[in-house]
Amino acid sequence: MDAQDINPYRDLHPMHPQSEPVEEGTLWYAGEPLEEDESKVTGEGIVVALRTVYDPEIPVNIFDIGLIYDLLQSENGDIEVVMTLTSPNCPVAGILPQQVADAVGEVQGVGEVMVRLTWSPTWTMDMMSEDAKMALGML
């Protein structure tokens, strides 16, 4: 995928019970190809969609928690999201990335969506935005 970085918030970035770990590089998909004459979404529209997805154990959206590492948009409007989870054993590891793909896929001007899971770098609480830290009483 020949893509450009569209993450307008690149610098923003509890332990869970055990479950089956999800392998790095696992992919989730959503969306449909855009028509050639359809206008493409901006990075801001995708971030708005990402902020509607929450880890059920943390009352802050996944974008502000710092789980989204990269957003790439190809010329045809397809989106690649590179994300992590708070732990490889996160109990929602099998469903949260699909929720991300579905949320981004619903945005007007988005074509096909691919969410790729990564464990590198390892997520830490330092990756949370200041808003997330305030919401969790860490500031």
Average pLDDT of the chain is 85
- State the Cα angle at 46 between 59 and 106, rounded to 5°: 90
Which residues touch 137 (CB under 8 Å, ≥6 apart)? none
Largest CA distance in the chain: 47
Q: Which residues contact 17 (CB under 8 A, 6 or more apart)?
A: 89, 91
pTM: 0.82
Report pLDDT digits (tens) over 111-139.
999 999 999 999 999 999 999 999 999 98
What domains appear along the chain, each with residue ranges and CATH number?
A: 3-9+20-135 (3.30.300.130)
Phi, psi of 35 (to 5 degrees): -70, 150
Quick check: 115 and 101 in contact, CB under 8 A?
yes
Higher pLDDT, 73 or 43: 73
Q: Over the stretch 76-111, which tens digit does the pLDDT of each residue have? A: 999 999 999 988 888 888 899 999 999 999 999 999
| Residue the block writes with tokens 């999800």 | 22
Note the pLDDT of residue 5. 53
pLDDT tens digits, residue range 15-27? Answer: 333 356 778 888 9
117 touches 22 (CB < 8 A):
yes
